[in-house]
């Protein structure tokens, strides 16, 4: 089977990466740690085999806590990867830092016990092609 190559990077472009392995799946995570690390109500993570990630430009900062590890760009703050040593065969790339996140649709959601109560209603909210009208007509 030919090796797959997946590329991505941070918002400012100072950190770039390549993953040389088969994409396994994407999960939407609602855990409090992911929400606080990203500032988002839910985070999409794409799973790949450990050891398949190569930093091709710059190096991320790494935060270690509770034996877990998160990487992020030290310049723009984009969250890039997550590794949990209790699952040593896999690591997670922040799906929206991959160059074409549309290629990695989520299959499930985890840590829904930590879900922000209004998150399950996001699909029902009005949708705008670009910027939403400002509150109070500003």
Secondary structure (H, E, C), the chain: CCCCCEEEECCCCCCEEEECCCCCEEEEECCHHHHHHHCCCCEEEEEEECCCEEEEECCCEEEEECCEEEEECCCCCCEEEEECCCCCCEEEEEHHHECCHHHCCEEEEECHHHCCHHHHHHHHCCCCCCCCCCHHHC
pLDDT in tens, 94-105: 999 999 999 999
pLDDT in tens, 7-26: 999 999 999 999 999 999 99
pTM of the model: 0.90
**Residue ranges, the chain, pLDDT below 50:** 1
The CATH number given to 6-114 is 2.170.150.70
**Structural domain boundaries of the chain?**
6-114
């Amino acid at each position: 089977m030919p090796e797959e190559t997946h590329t991505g990077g941070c918002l400012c472009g100072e950190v770039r990466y390549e993953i040389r392995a088969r994409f396994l799946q994407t999960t939407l995570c609602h855990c409090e740690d992911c929400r606080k690390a990203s500032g988002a109500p839910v985070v999409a993570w794409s799973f790949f085999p450990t050891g398949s990630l190569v930093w091709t430009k710059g190096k991320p900062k790494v935060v270690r806590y509770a034996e877990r590890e998160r990487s992020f760009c030290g310049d723009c703050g984009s969250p890039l990867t997550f590794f949990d040593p209790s699952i040593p065969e896999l690591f997670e790339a922040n799906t929206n830092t991959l160059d074409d996140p549309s290629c990695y649709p989520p299959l499930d959601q985890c840590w829904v016990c930590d879900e922000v109560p209004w998150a399950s209603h996001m699909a029902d909210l009005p949708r705008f092609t670009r910027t939403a009208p400002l509150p109070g007509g500003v």
